[in-house]
Structure 1
Amino acid sequence: MNQRVRVAVRVEGIVQGVGFRPFVHGLARSLGLSGHVGNDTAGVFAEVEGERDAVEVFLTATRSQCPPLAVIESLTATELPPLDGTSDDEFVILPSPPGGEANTLVSADSAPCHACLAELADPADRRYRYPFVNCTHCGPRFTIVRGVPYDRPRTTMAPFPMCGDCAREYHDPANRRFHAQPVCCPACGPSLRLIGTSPAADPLSATVDLLRRGRIVAIKGLGGYHLACDAADEAATSALRDRKHREDKPFAVMVSGVDDARKLCEVDSCAADLLTGRRRPIVLLPRRPGAPVAAAVAPGNRQLGVMLPYTPLHHLLLADFGRAIVLTSGNISDEPIVHLDTEALTRLSGIADAFLTHDRAIHVRTDDSVVRTFGGREQLVRRSRGYVPEPITVRTPFPRPVLACGAELKNTFCLAKNRHAFVSHHIGDLENYETLRSYTEGIEHFRRLFDITPRVVAHDLHPEYLSTKYALDRTGAELVGVQHHHAHIASCLADNGEAGPVLGVAFDGLGYGTDGTLWGGEILLADFTGFRRLAHLEPVPMPGGTAAIRRPWRMAAAYLTAAGVSAPALRERHAAEWQAVVSLARGGTQAPLTSSAGRLFDAVAAILGVRDEIGYEGQAAIELEQLADPLERGTYPVRLHGEDPILLSGADLVRSVVDDQAAGVPAPLVAARFHRSVVRLITEACKALREATGVGTVALSGGVFQNLLLLRGSVEALTEAGFRVLTHSRVPCNDGGLSLGQAVIAAHEPRA
């Protein structure tokens, strides 16, 4: 005879706001089990009672058949004495109890599911063309959550009482919206309105008309306002670029589906999965020749950033408009995305001709994520909407709660406890008050959401970073300074679930070194507990300090001086300032030394006439990569000299570049040879260091490895040389992943 049993179940992971309780309710009812299920601050709890075979089926199916947005990290079952007939046969969903430490996870925002899209397109459905349709399997999550447990009163849907029809769906166990917290309809939910033009009965149709007439419209999305215009309209895209003060940086484009994306770009199967998945990031794709977009969308760039609709409003807009639109962050360059209605009307009034807005508040501003494919897997360039706040799970639990404050540029912060590292959404460059406010507000929200009171605060060594100053102002926690490039390599280790040691190649723009100079072309022997600087690019002066970042020709002057060669065309272009800059490059307090790989790429870009001054970070190096002929196989001689540390000669590469240029070698071939020579320099250095250390694993990190030509070449050459190579996937290789590295290093710091 089948024995009757009672079991207490605890499920942890992403199990709130994803339809987990209704799933458990339906499963238990179908198996004839009694009991209950509920949310609390740790996740989902349940009790089931019935025949043992049915309970075992229940436990197996809970794991294998859970809702599509759920991620189960742990499921524990504890057998209890049966209630011996004192229980009834019902299975119920309990209200969420108050109190307790919050250990639950929050789902990221998710694109509309197929069932919701079918309703959106069905004239007979009461949610036909309703731009806020959602259910337990899709819709807003992180951007509307104010606190946990995830229930409607703790979201920005709290001001919208459910109508009778929505309430019946919400309370019906057989309905897809059973306990869906953002459930709503035209009778009770948020609504659209168009501001800045004549009142319109249909704000969406009026918006489409504005876009067709070449206007720029600010559109409220999930995590903030976007600026939209016709992607094929040269006048509109140029006007947007002028008004936004964004001279050259590419705009993202939204298209209605994969077929439309293929008209613009080459889309492989991995990219198609990324475009159509629930996260809906911007995907960087190779641009097709003659792609029907205006030149001002991505000037001089072989790639386009393409995304598919990720809200019902986007689906309606793209279907009605019928072609691609530019959809770029609603901000003035260098400021964070605008998410509050009042701020949008004020700060974007000089850019947008009209505002398509709605009355559901955005609690956390969140930019779009940016990804690309490499080696058949996704690589994050910017980790934000659709990914955050889902945690990075680490190998070893954090012994104490940690706050890692991140870097200055492309900032993210990270709060961590137990085995979870909660890397924040993209904050941006901490260079103005608005971004700093977004940063501090974000830290407080994460701290409350995940109930983390940091006992360790990690920060960069650079004393002038605003993130460092924020850390130094904290009280009640141990401070841990983390060297910038050590954090890069630790981030790559954590990304790959590794512990090291590795030969860490950290190539980026700049980072404060332990010797007080500016590092950036480093090879470290590193793990989570420490590092040794084994090799680096030979330092050169930065004439004028940070002015040389904005004006790459200054770095060219410094490298030409170090190499003892001349580039007449470059010198002629800057004849009025040349001698003064060369004098700076020969030494002085206004020319700090740097081993930066990014500055070496800048120098070569200027020598080849690619870019003398930049409008956004990394522009010269990006355009140098775009120039390079991918079919060229030539390289230049490379030189390593010295020991402990080994010095890698960038001046030798510059000398070869100048020789080729003087010999009339086409610039695309020179650019390609330079890239291949940097790969060769990295490989030769790692081979020499393997002989000295016995370490055969290499980790590649730092923003310079966003260069696919360099990354692909380095992985291939190092693998051919017998190395095991680690690259980034779950967090960016740029400074957006730095806070994760700081957090895991701080976790391994001996207690004071």
Structure 2
Amino acid sequence: MNIVFQQRLHLVIQGAVQGVGFRPFIYRLAADLGLTGWVNNSAQGVVIDIEGVRSQLDTFLHRLNQEKPSRSHIQSLESSWFDPVGYSIFEIRKSVVGEKTAIVLPDIATCPECLQEIFDPTNRRYRYPFTNCTNCGPRFSILDALPYDRSNTTMQYFKVCRDCQIEYGNPGDRRFHAQPNACPQCGPHLQLWNPSGEIASHDNALKIAADAIRQGKIVAIKGLGGFHLMVDARNETAIQRLRQAKQRAAKPFALMYPSLELIKADCEVSELEEQLLRSPEAPIVLLKHSKTQTLNAKIAPSVAPHNPYLGIMLPYTPLHHLLMADVGFPIVATSGNLADEPICTDEQEAIQRLGTIADLFLIHNREIARPIDDSIVRVVMEQKVVLRRARGYAPLPISIHSKSKILSVGAHLKNTIAFSTNQQVFVSQHIGDLETVPAFEAFQQTIASFQQIYELQPTAIACDLHPDYRSTQFAHQLANQLQIPVIPVQHHYAHILSCMAEHQLEGSVLGIAWDGTGYGSDGTLWGGEFLHITDTTFRRVAHLRSFHLPGGDKAVKEPRRSAIGLLYELYGDQVFEMKALDSIQTFSDQELKILKTMLNKNLNAPITSSAGRLFDAIASILGLRQYIQFEGQAAMELEFAIEGFETDESYPFEIQSTRSPTSPKKSEILDWAAMVRRILIDSRSGLSISNISAKFHNTLVEMIVAIANRVGEERVVLTGGCFQNKYLTERAIQRLRAEGFRPYWHQKIPANDGGIALGQIMAALREISGGKERCV
């Protein structure tokens, strides 16, 4: 006689398992297999206690891994076997609290089932702009605390109606345990305001807003993570008005299109780009203009001046789907803020800060827990590359082998913050440049928000080496309050460690960190760096030849100053006699005298090895741009000048060896002098800017390959803002591979300063552990 014994299986699952319908999935799976017990959310993840015969429990484990919800991700699964306790049913139990390490899921774009419902006149959610289910909808943007339950979100203020409660409690329903579940009877609703007050509500508000956009008006719309400013993308007059009011002279605007078909009519769309546009993350995707545009979707030139790419997204919430269906044409959908300020999240704040910009305000009464901008991606080497990491991606973590609790405060520009806990590094959403009081307040609020969600009590704070960064000063102030150490991290070291963490790289690599500027270990401005990374530290093995920046910070906004500094390094005072140069012609005689004094006496003319400033200088010399209106503009236009031109030619350059007074080991200086001289000759002889720019980019790539060959590390990491340049990055990858190297570049974490916070965490862990911490 065979006796079948019952057993009890206890599981603790960590990862992206809250907000994805994981508990309902477990409930249905247990019911299907005839198992009893319970499942709940904890502050760490999901806990399951389940009983049955061993064969059925083994099947449960197998199917759990095979059939789990598509948006879920299991990082760890701890299993223990015990004697049964005699459960009679399987149930979803109330969540429990504890140490908070669960992964907060990003917001998820509207799923096909919800989309079908909002356009179905027979459905009770017809044209309801806050429709969601366990497969889609708000997550991070509404979360106040862990675990992810309605009572811990901004949906707690909406009492669930009878019909929604029935859906929530029905195991066979798509909305079984959907925390933000709502309908027109019990959920958030729309209102349309003008600066004087409310003028419409519910669906009527949406329709009037769509009509206003058709009429060329600017409408501020409260979305998922903040306000958008929206206007007809075909209306040049309306866009110019928006630019003037928003104080955004030339930086490209993002677009939202009603359909993929209309996007394909205007842009070249690859299979991967299409997947990204339609993905649950629904980011802004940089797409190249088609050579011809349809008459019905002619995009105004001022949307993206002098730029062959458009930043485009599809609707990603029911509100956006309904609006775009009513409008029927592409619209500008730019962040609802003023220059250098964070995105507005509250309607009263929006009226105050955007009242001089927007004609109407389409708002709703669901609170936004934190500002979250749209993410931006592009395709490089047939891989997704994140340029701005926010909605849809943040705050998913990077895994590491450390339980240390460290806060990092990031850089000054494109700021993000990060913290490590329980073998994970959580990187915040994009915060922005810390140039203004509102931006710095948003930075502090983001730190406070993460501390609240995870009850974070750091044991150390990592920051940038630059003493004047607001983030660095804040780190020291907070550390003093908490009586914990501050760990300053060199900027380019952090860049490289960030990319290494993303790719789970351990050991030694050659890191190439090229950007605008970063505070160097020697007190100068670095930015064209080759760092040899070991298990414990780094050594600067090479860098671009340095030159002066007359006017200091002014040179960042005036490429002509970088050009003067670069040419002064080559020709000394003779540069001021080069009257034919565009860079010289833009200055008055008096200004040139002041510049000459600055350079001769080394007054307010800091030294830099910056690749970004080298790009600026060449753009100025070629007459492309003498002033910039947004960061990276000159370098972008230099890249875009190559458009359609192909050549493998490059310019000559030299490598000079030098020794540091503090180190017996030699380092290399990549001397661009011969290259610049040839560029001047080519420019005077009338060679096309396309040709010169291509040869310039090719020369930079050959510099990379030359140093890689000298250092001899097989693994080469490409990082820093300059590697947002698609031509530079792709050519560097191809040439490094051809030479037998294994190049790595950013994909999940931005190459720009948005990735610095992650690198600071990794550097701090190395310092604390003596280099023994590693990624997993």
TM-score range for the pair, normalised by the shorter chain length = over 0.9
Tell me the equivalent position of 1:155. Answer: 153
Give per-residue Cα distances to partners, 1:576-602, cap 9 Å, x unaligned.
323322332334131010000100000
Tell me the equivalent position of 1:186. Answer: 184
* In 1: Cα distance, 2:292 partner to 2:420 partner: 47
Secondary structure at 1:749's aligned position in 2? helix
Q: Which moved more, 1:339-348 or 1:635-644?
A: 635-644
Q: Which amino acid aligns with 1:573?
A: T
**Length, aligned pairs only:** 742
Query: Are residue 700 (structure 1) and residue 702 (structure 2) matched?
Result: no
* In 2: Cα distance, 1:587 partner to 1:370 partner: 44
Secondary structure at 2:701's aligned position in 1? helix
Q: Which amino acid aligns with 1:130?
A: Y
Matches within 5 A, 1:464-483: 464-473=468-477, 474=479, 475-483=482-490
**How far off is 1:381 after superposition?**
0.4
Tell me the equivalent position of 2:774. Answer: none
Q: Which amino acid aligns with 2:652?
A: P
* In 1: Cα distance, 2:42 partner to 2:588 partner: 69
Secondary structure at 1:211's aligned position in 2? helix
**How far off is 1:399 after superposition?**
4.4
Runs ≥4 in structure 1, deviation > 3 angstroms? none
Q: 2:262 aligns with which of 256, 260, 263?
A: 260
The answer to whether the 8 A contact 2:101-2:422 is kept is no
Q: Which moved more, 1:538-547 or 1:572-581?
A: 572-581
* In 1: Cα distance, 2:603 partner to 2:588 partner: 23
Secondary structure at 2:290's aligned position in 1? coil
Secondary structure at 1:38's aligned position in 2? strand
Q: Which amino acid aligns with 2:716?
A: V
**How far off is 1:748 after superposition?**
1.1
The answer to whether the 8 A contact 1:275-1:308 is kept is yes
Structure 2 unaligned residues grouped into runs of 5+: 659-665, 771-776
Query: Are residue 719 (structure 1) and residue 737 (structure 2) matched?
Result: yes
**How far off is 1:745 after superposition?**
1.0
The answer to whether the 8 A contact 1:404-1:458 is kept is yes
Query: Are residue 628 (structure 1) and residue 642 (structure 2) matched?
Result: yes
The answer to whether the 8 A contact 2:403-2:423 is kept is no
Tell me the equivalent position of 1:734. Answer: 752
Q: 1:666 aligns with which of 688, 693, 716?
A: 688
* In 2: Cα distance, 1:684 partner to 1:37 partner: 58
Tell me the equivalent position of 2:93. Answer: 94
Give per-residue Cα distances to partners, 1:547-582, cap 9 Å, x unaligned.
111111011111122222646132223233233223
Change (3 A) 1:47 1:719: same
Tell me the equivalent position of 1:637. Answer: 652
Query: Are residue 600 (structure 1) and residue 618 (structure 2) matched?
Result: no
**How far off is 1:607 after superposition?**
0.7
* In 2: Cα distance, 1:222 partner to 1:231 partner: 21
Change (3 A) 1:471 1:528: farther
The answer to whether the 8 A contact 1:490-1:528 is kept is no
Tell me the equivalent position of 1:420. Answer: 424
Q: 1:584 aligns with which of 598, 613, 622?
A: 598
Q: 1:749 aligns with which of 757, 767, 773?
A: 767
Structure 1 unaligned residues grouped into runs of 5+: none
Give per-residue Cα distances to partners, 1:529-558, cap 9 Å, x unaligned.
211011111110110100111111011111
Q: 1:172 aligns with which of 170, 174, 181?
A: 170
Tell me the equivalent position of 2:211. Answer: 209
Structure-1-length-normalised TM-score:
0.97
Q: Which amino acid aligns with 1:719?
A: R
Matches within 5 A, 1:89-128: 90-97=89-96, 99-128=97-126
The answer to whether the 8 A contact 1:29-1:91 is kept is yes
* In 1: Cα distance, 2:251 partner to 2:677 partner: 30
Secondary structure at 1:509's aligned position in 2? strand
Q: 1:679 aligns with which of 678, 688, 701?
A: 701
* In 1: Cα distance, 2:747 partner to 2:178 partner: 32
**How far off is 1:365 after superposition?**
0.4
Matches within 5 A, 1:488-503: 488-503=495-510
The answer to whether the 8 A contact 2:412-2:433 is kept is yes
Q: Which amino acid aligns with 1:445?
A: S
Matches within 5 A, 1:397-436: 397-436=401-440
Matches within 5 A, 1:331-346: 331-346=337-352
**How far off is 1:450 after superposition?**
2.3
**How far off is 1:751 after superposition?**
6.0
* In 2: Cα distance, 1:587 partner to 1:404 partner: 38
Q: Which amino acid aligns with 1:378?
A: K
**How far off is 1:445 after superposition?**
1.2
Tell me the equivalent position of 1:510. Answer: 517
* In 2: Cα distance, 1:218 partner to 1:528 partner: 50
Q: Which amino acid aligns with 2:650?
A: T
Give per-residue Cα distances to partners, 1:414-439, cap 9 Å, x unaligned.
11112211011001001111111111
Secondary structure at 1:327's aligned position in 2? strand
Tell me the equivalent position of 2:42. Answer: 40
**How far off is 1:160 after superposition?**
0.3
Change (3 A) 1:615 1:166: same
Query: Are residue 539 (structure 1) and residue 546 (structure 2) matched?
Result: yes
Tell me the equivalent position of 1:199. Answer: 199
The answer to whether the 8 A contact 1:563-1:652 is kept is no
Q: 1:615 aligns with which of 592, 606, 629?
A: 629
Give per-residue Cα distances to partners, 1:436-483, cap 9 Å, x unaligned.
111111111112212331112111110000010011112322211110
Tell me the equivalent position of 2:449. Answer: 445
Tell me the equivalent position of 1:457. Answer: 461
* In 1: Cα distance, 2:557 partner to 2:292 partner: 32
* In 2: Cα distance, 1:342 partner to 1:581 partner: 47
The answer to whether the 8 A contact 2:652-2:675 is kept is yes
Q: Which amino acid aligns with 1:619?
A: Q
Query: Are residue 297 (structure 1) and residue 295 (structure 2) matched?
Result: no
The answer to whether the 8 A contact 1:567-1:658 is kept is no
Identity %: 43
The answer to whether the 8 A contact 1:541-1:587 is kept is no
Tell me the equivalent position of 1:236. Answer: 238
* In 2: Cα distance, 1:326 partner to 1:370 partner: 15
Q: Which amino acid aligns with 2:673?
A: A
Tell me the equivalent position of 2:81. Answer: 79
Q: Which amino acid aligns with 2:254?
A: A
Tell me the equivalent position of 1:322. Answer: 328
Give per-residue Cα distances to partners, 1:126-176, cap 9 Å, x unaligned.
001100000011000000000011111110001100011111111111111
**How far off is 1:360 after superposition?**
0.2
* In 2: Cα distance, 1:170 partner to 1:38 partner: 15
Structure-2-length-normalised TM-score:
0.94
Secondary structure at 1:699's aligned position in 2? strand
* In 1: Cα distance, 2:302 partner to 2:125 partner: 38
Tell me the equivalent position of 2:587. Answer: 574
Secondary structure at 1:215's aligned position in 2? coil
* In 2: Cα distance, 1:426 partner to 1:265 partner: 27
Alpha-carbon RMSD: 1.4
The answer to whether the 8 A contact 2:653-2:673 is kept is no
* In 1: Cα distance, 2:485 partner to 2:512 partner: 29
The answer to whether the 8 A contact 1:218-1:356 is kept is yes
Q: 2:528 aligns with which of 506, 521, 526?
A: 521
Query: Are residue 657 (structure 1) and residue 663 (structure 2) matched?
Result: no
* In 2: Cα distance, 1:490 partner to 1:320 partner: 47
Tell me the equivalent position of 2:382. Answer: 376
Give per-residue Cα distances to partners, 1:260-308, cap 9 Å, x unaligned.
2212211111111111010011111111124420001000101010111
Q: Which amino acid aligns with 1:94?
A: R
**How far off is 1:340 after superposition?**
1.4
Matches within 5 A, 1:59-74: 59-74=61-76
Q: Which amino acid aligns with 1:585?
A: L
Give per-residue Cα distances to partners, 1:680-716, cap 9 Å, x unaligned.
12211221222xxxx2221111101111111111111
Q: Which amino acid aligns with 2:675?
A: L
The answer to whether the 8 A contact 1:559-1:651 is kept is no
* In 2: Cα distance, 1:13 partner to 1:222 partner: 24
* In 2: Cα distance, 1:398 partner to 1:32 partner: 39
